[in-house]
Amino acid sequence: MMHTPRSGRRWIRSAIVVGAALFILALFVSAVFEPSIRVLHALQALIYVAVVILTRRNSPLGYGAGVVVSAFWNYVNLFVTTFIRNGFD
């Protein structure tokens, strides 16, 4: 297993926190404008809170969940729903 220097881990951890915070902010803003999906967005935000907590504890589950959840949502929004296409239109 490769050993990551302390500064490399700090950068990764900071990026995870910033990315999760931005996504939670986007979920909050979306929930403000669309009250019917507030519960869904609150539950989605909890996933990212859990990812931050787990990665802070160096849990592989946190890193894996962060990658899998974000890849899943990107796939769904790009290929299953028209959400992103509608945003461009």
Residue partners of 83: CB distance under 8 A and separation at least 6: 77
Cα separation, 77 vs 59, in Å, equals 28
* For range 16-26, the mean pLDDT: 93
pLDDT band with cut points at 50, 70 and 90 for residue 5: low
pLDDT band with cut points at 50, 70 and 90 for residue 42: very high
The domain segmentation of the chain, as residue ranges, is 7-88
The pLDDT of residue 1 is above 60: no
Please give the pLDDT value at position 89. Answer: 75
The pLDDT of residue 2 is above 60: no
61-69, long-range: CB within 8 Å, 24+ apart, which pairs? 66/16, 66/20
Residue partners of 29: CB distance under 8 A and separation at least 6: none
Cα separation, 58 vs 56, in Å, equals 5
